[in-house]
Structure 1
Amino acid sequence: MRTAVVTGGGTGIGRAIAAELVARGLDVVITGRREDVLKQAAAEIGARAVAFDAADPAAVDAALEHLPERVDVLVNNAGGLVDGDDLKQQWLAMYEANVVTAVLVTTALQERLADQGRVVTIGSIAGRRGGGSYGAAKAAVEAWTAELAFKLGGRGITANVVAPGYVSETEFFGGGMSEERYRTLVAQTANGRAGTPADVAATVAFLSSPEAGHVTGQVVAVNGGAHLGR
């Protein structure tokens, strides 16, 4: 059985990705900082839970003994919007949450990645359209992934970014989106609807599959046409 690790897998997009991979027959471990949330999600979707802070090198190292010895699929989903006490701290915190987490976990598991394995990191439309410190962090994820694809490619391992646009049914906006903002974001799409966690999960599942072996170093947009990658 193929094994997957999904960081930030307790809620929203991460949980949907984990559930989709479980449904496709993978043995899935979800990680995150909130142990209670993780355990509940794991029980509901049929995964295993390992709680740790992916931005803390010591915590990542300590978690290794609880993570699979062989990893066929690694999904770096941990991240999101975070605040800092001042401008400098906000930018550093955003970079740490969205870039450092992926780098630390991927590096820690690199030797455990199976040949022909898959690494998928969740980016954002903000990496191409701006978005202050969050957009800058997601753009950095794209640059890091491009290098990672060549670093791991000799073993048949692929590395890609899935970049969602606006996705409903998540904690990302903390329930604070106005109806006007919602209508604006939906109006930017070609298909006239918000994305869903299932949309992102299905794309990640394909990139995680054996059939996606010649897709690497790419940014795959899941945004309903709100931003065209051409």
Structure 2
Amino acid sequence: MSRTILITGGGTGIGRATARHFAEQGETVIVTGRRLQPLSDLAQQTGVRALVCDHTDPQSLAGVLSALPEQIDVLVNNAGGNTDFDSGTDPDTGAGDEMELVRYARAFRANLDANLISAALTTKALDGRLAAGGAVVHIGSIAADQGAGSYGASKAGLATWNLDLARLLGPRGITANVVSPGYIADTEFFRDHLTDERREHLVAGTATGRAGSPADIAGAIAFLASPAARHITGQVLNVNGGAHTTR
């Protein structure tokens, strides 16, 4: 029986690969994002349903609820990214005067909104629609363990918040987990800020000797949403080629 899968930030990169994966399995897939064009392109290519929504904005999120089905079997909180790349500046540099502190606060909060608040708002908004026996999967980051300013802090916060979410949803048979990627090629994550030297360094840090792909992450998400993973919850699944290991 076909399930209904909602993927936030589904127009590009990991979200796009995940949407394709589930669509190819015959699932009913809905993708959301802030930009209409990549969503429309994906919908035309795969038959998924596309909706424009900014998941950091409660009003935008509330406005899209009427267009969503009454039951969601799998929620993938993929929307987010390092908002420091959008500003083109490093918020951790500069003098500590009042204006610099204001800019720092705005930049820090932007990452919290994009990566933590968006997931919390979306899950809260859909709480009554999450199907018993379903799954919630968030996209974390290796930065939560290795550090990357407010971006790393937001992803670490996401993993910690998920612990309580798993306990809240567990009695309904709903699992809640985090997939934590390392360096993933063929995404818009770094915008145009990734140098060849930095890329080589990231690949060299893996045990597999290669960059990850969006399909690697899509496969991990699909597993956590599958019948085989019904007793896995409150966990962080690292998918980074060994760049960050656990015992």
Q: TM-score, normalised by structure 2?
A: 0.91
For 2:45 and 2:233, the matched residues in 1 are separated by 32
For 1:42 and 1:133, the matched residues in 2 are separated by 33
Unaligned residue ranges in structure 1 (runs of 5+) = none
Q: 2:122 aligns with which of 78, 93, 105?
A: 105
2:135 pairs with 1:118: yes
Aligned ranges 1:168-207 → 2 under 5 Å: 168-207=185-224
2:97 pairs with 1:93: no
The answer to whether the 8 A contact 1:78-1:97 is kept is yes
For 1:36 and 1:81, the matched residues in 2 are separated by 21
Q: Which residue of 2 aligns with 1:64?
A: 65
For 1:88 and 1:187, the matched residues in 2 are separated by 34
| Structure 1 counterpart of 2:132, one-letter code | D
Deviations along 1:146-167, one digit per CA (max 9) or x if unpaired, are: 1100000001000000000000
Shift of 1:209: 1.0
Shift of 1:27: 0.2
For 1:220 and 1:24, the matched residues in 2 are separated by 22
Shift of 1:175: 2.8
Aligned ranges 1:1-230 → 2 under 5 Å: 1-83=2-84, 86-230=103-247
After superposing on structure 2, the runs of 4+ consecutive aligned residues of structure 1 that deviate more than 6 Å are: none
Shift of 1:65: 0.5
For 1:8 and 1:183, the matched residues in 2 are separated by 27
State the number of aligned residues.
Answer: 230
SS of the counterpart of 1:93?
Answer: helix
Shift of 1:44: 1.2
For 1:172 and 1:153, the matched residues in 2 are separated by 32
For 2:213 and 2:67, the matched residues in 1 are separated by 31
| Structure 1 counterpart of 2:75, one-letter code | L
Q: Percent identity?
A: 53
**RMSD value over aligned CA atoms?**
1.0
For 1:151 and 1:15, the matched residues in 2 are separated by 29
Shift of 1:67: 1.1
The answer to whether the 8 A contact 1:72-1:118 is kept is yes
Larger gyration radius, structure 1 or structure 2: 2
Unaligned residue ranges in structure 2 (runs of 5+) = 88-101
For 2:123 and 2:246, the matched residues in 1 are separated by 26
For 1:33 and 1:172, the matched residues in 2 are separated by 15
SS of the counterpart of 1:168?
Answer: coil
SS of the counterpart of 1:9?
Answer: coil
Shift of 1:25: 1.9
Deviations along 1:131-174, one digit per CA (max 9) or x if unpaired, are: 11100000000011111000000010000000000000000011
The answer to whether the 8 A contact 1:10-1:42 is kept is no
SS of the counterpart of 2:56?
Answer: coil
The answer to whether the 8 A contact 1:189-1:224 is kept is yes
**Greater mean deviation of Cα atoms: 175-184 or 108-117:** 175-184
Shift of 1:178: 1.0
For 2:65 and 2:176, the matched residues in 1 are separated by 21
For 1:216 and 1:57, the matched residues in 2 are separated by 27
For 1:43 and 1:74, the matched residues in 2 are separated by 22
For 2:63 and 2:193, the matched residues in 1 are separated by 36
